[in-house]
Amino acid sequence: MSRHWSLRRRVVVSAITGTVCSLFPAGISRADAPGPTDYSSTIVDIRTADDVPLPEGVKISVEGHDAFLAVRVSQGTVVEVPGYEGEPYLTISSDCTVFENQQSMSTWYNQDRFGSDVDQSLVDHDAPPDWERIGSSCTVAWHDHRLHYMSSTTPVNAEPGDILVSDSIPLIVNGIDVNVNVESRLMAGPDPVVPIVAAIASLGLVIASWRRSAISIAVFLAAITAMIVGAAQYMWSIPETGPQLTAMLIPALALLASGWLVLRSQSPSALIMLGAELLGSGFLVIWAWRRSSVLTSALLPTSLPYWLDRASTTAVTLIALAGITHSVISLMTLSTSSANVDG
Amino acid sequence: MKRNVLILSALAVVVVAAVGIVISINRSDPQFREVATSEHADYEYMIPVGTGNRIDAGEEISIIPAELEVHVGESIRIINNDDRGHVVGVFFVGPGETMSQEFTSPGTLTGGCTIHPSGEFTLQVLE
């Protein structure tokens, strides 16, 4: 009895932890972590006042396809990034410490990809800057709305290759005015063949494993796959962009539940086994749900080949749905049998 | 065989339910239908030559209102005589192109806008 309580407790703790992690906003200091997108932003040119050359070691790049502008400097270089209203927004001091002004509207406006629902009373426009230390790596990366198309709806009347955004982002490096001219283009969507082939293959695997009562093994393999895909997503972007830890954490919880089920040394009750299968599958469905746009987006946040990411996501989704279906049907059957025995 | 059918049916129900939820979540956006540029348009805006250069020079451009309230069945036409593309909310009009769209379902959309000083355009489509 006490062992069952212990198992139940583990299941309950995993469920609560997983749910909290799944629902928790991603990223540490950036609410808008790099994600799948249909737009590719590039730096067209970097201009300085009077064509003064940039100090040595300054590197400016677009990160997350279209979401972040990053500036890396060597120690001793001072960078100032003005906000949309020209106010002090970000700064890298000469000792590499990075500060963010909590009294800048841009700080809050950039928390969301589309800058929606920002409470205007968050800042006092007349107050002096309230600098908060956000890093010490001589690198600053911030979400900039001038880098991307500002709507979640696909632009009407646009075709792949069309330039949707053409803007300029000002900086000050060691007192030199710098203008980073950027463009953002609509990219062609992915070929649906890969997800379709992956779906057919996964369906075959689901049927085969169901007939052999090996759905839990399929869920375990799906959790390993999701873990690899999630790790490739997490490690793809630079830390300053706040990559989503949940991309790895949710499959890790699924791996814990399904791994215990597959590798257990003792046989617990059918109820506990089905509960673990349901839990593992549930975490995978949440993971797949959160990244479902990888199937339709042109550019993905991953170091893996895009086809592999899409095929894996499709396979994990179907196996996880099969895992839920299997465990729910089995739990219902179990409950009916118990009722019959009791009757 | 019967078992396979049962498995597939159960799986199909779960997949259909998931797809249904996704579709219902995305249903609030207004929809559009392309119409011939020769047809009557209830709202018409023209972007003149040189608008892009004026924006680059720091000039504030105000060709369209920041918010537009329209009704289902009405249409909008944007004529772009400039040599660069412009974004008006969710509409893109390429250089030298004319775009005509009819509003086919209600909803609200907000997006960037190159031809209003606020840089934003909100379209509200009413029944």
Domain holding B74: CATH number? 2.60.40.420
Split at pLDDT 50, 70, 90, the class of A86 is very high
Q: Does B23 touch chain A (CB under 8 A)?
A: no
- Indicate if the pLDDT at residue A30 is higher than 70: no
pLDDT in tens, A154-163: 899 999 999 9
Among A128, A162, A186, the domain-final residue is A186
Amino acid type, A225: T
Instruction: Kindly give the pairing relationship between strand A176-186 and strand B91-93.
Output: unpaired
- Do B21 and B81 share a domain, yes or no? no
Residue in chain A nearest B22 by alpha carbon: A289
Question: What's the pLDDT score for residue B44?
Answer: 95
Residue B106 and residue B46 in one domain: yes
Looking at the structure, do residues B9 and B49 belong to the same domain, yes or no? no
Number of domains chain B contains? 2
3-state secondary structure A107-169: HHHCCCCCCCCCCHHHCCCCCCCCEEEEECCCEEEEECHHHCCCCCCCCECCCCCCEEEEEEE
State residue A3's pLDDT score.
Answer: 47
Q: Look at residue A105 and tell me if it is in a domain.
A: yes
Give the pLDDT band (50/70/90) at residue B97.
Answer: very high
In a domain, A34, yes or no: no
* Within a domain: A37: no
* Same domain as B104, residue B50: yes
The pLDDT assigned to A23 comes to 47
Mutate to test the interface with A, among B110, B114, B115, B118 (most CBs of A within 10 A): B110
- Overall number of domains in chain A: 2
Q: Which residue in B10, B18, B29 is closest to A153 by CB distance?
A: B29
Q: How far is Cα B46 from Cα B63, in angstroms, rounded to an integer? A: 7
The domain boundary residue, chosen from A186, A221, A248: A186
Establish if B90 touches chain A: CB-CB under 8 angstroms.
yes
Same domain, B23 and B39: no
Residue A125's pLDDT is 84
The pLDDT, as a whole number, for residue A265 is 74
Question: How far away is chain A from the Cα of B100, in angstroms, using its nearest Cα?
Answer: 9
Best-predicted range by mean pLDDT (A18-32, A102-116, A302-316): A302-316
Q: What is the mean pLDDT of residues A74-102?
A: 96
pLDDT in tens, A171-202: 999 999 999 999 999 999 999 999 999 999 99
pLDDT of residue A304: 97
Same domain as B35, residue B11: no
B56 and B104 inside one domain:
yes
Same domain, A208 and A223: yes
Domain that holds residue A250: 2-29+189-342
**Domain termination site, one of A167, A186, A205:** A186
**Top-confidence residue, A125 or A158:** A158
Does A273 lie in the same domain as A251?
Answer: yes
In this prediction, residue B58 carries a pLDDT of 85
Q: What is the pLDDT of residue A148?
A: 93
What average pLDDT does this structure show over B6-26?
62
- Which residues fall within 8 angstroms of residue A138, CB to CB, at 6 or more apart? A72, A73, A74, A75, A77, A92, A96, A98
Query: Starting from the edge strand earliest in sequence, which strands make up the sheet with A131-135, in order?
Result: A39-48, A176-186, A163-173, A79-82, A88-92, A98-101, A131-135
Average pLDDT rounded to a whole number, residues A70-77? 96
| pLDDT for the residue numbered A28 | 38
Which of A151, A168, A200, A206 is the best residue to mutate to test the B interface, defined by the most B CB atoms within 10 Å of its own CB? Answer: A151
What band does A337 get if pLDDT is binned at 50, 70 and 90? confident
Confidence of residue A44 (pLDDT cuts 50, 70, 90): very high
Q: Which of B18, B90, B94 sits opposite A151 (nearest CB)?
A: B90
Is the pLDDT assigned to residue A131 strictly greater than 50? yes
Stretch A93-114: mean pLDDT, rounded? 93
Mean pLDDT to the nearest integer, A50-56:
90
What pLDDT is recorded for position A263? 86
What beta strand segments (E) does chain B contain? 32-34, 43-47, 67-71, 75-80, 86-88, 91-93, 98-103, 107-112, 120-126
Q: Which domain holds residue B71?
A: 31-126
* pTM of the shown model: 0.83
Q: Are A83 and A106 in contact (CB under 8 A)?
A: yes
Q: Is residue B107 within 8 angstroms of chain A, CB to CB?
A: no
Q: How far apart are the first and last CA of chain B?
A: 50
Looking at residue A116, its pLDDT comes to 73
How near does any CA of chain A get to the CA of B33, in Å? 10
> Which residue on chain A is closest to B32 by alpha carbon?
A156
For an interface test with A, the pick among B27, B87, B109 (most A C-beta atoms closer than 10 Å) comes out as B87
Residues of chain A with pLDDT > 90, as a percent, come to 70
Chain B residues whose CB is inside 8 A of the A292 CB are 22
Please check whether residues A205 and A308 belong to one and the same domain.
Answer: yes
Q: Rounded distance, CA A288 to CA A297, Å?
A: 14
Q: Is the confidence at residue A8, as pLDDT, over 90? A: no
Whole-number pLDDT of residue B39: 82
Question: Which pLDDT belongs to residue B91?
Answer: 95
Angstrom distance (rounded) from CA B28 to CA B42: 23
A144 CA: distance to closest CA in chain B (Å)? 13
| pLDDT 10s digits, A254-299 | 999 999 988 887 777 888 888 899 999 999 999 999 999 999 999 9
Kindly report, residue by residue over B40-90, the tens digit of the pLDDT.
899 999 999 999 999 888 898 899 999 999 999 999 999 999 999 999 999
| A196/A335 same-domain check | yes
Say what the alpha-carbon torsion angle B70, B77, A38, B23 is, to the nearest 10 degrees: 40
Residue A121 has pLDDT above 90, yes or no: no
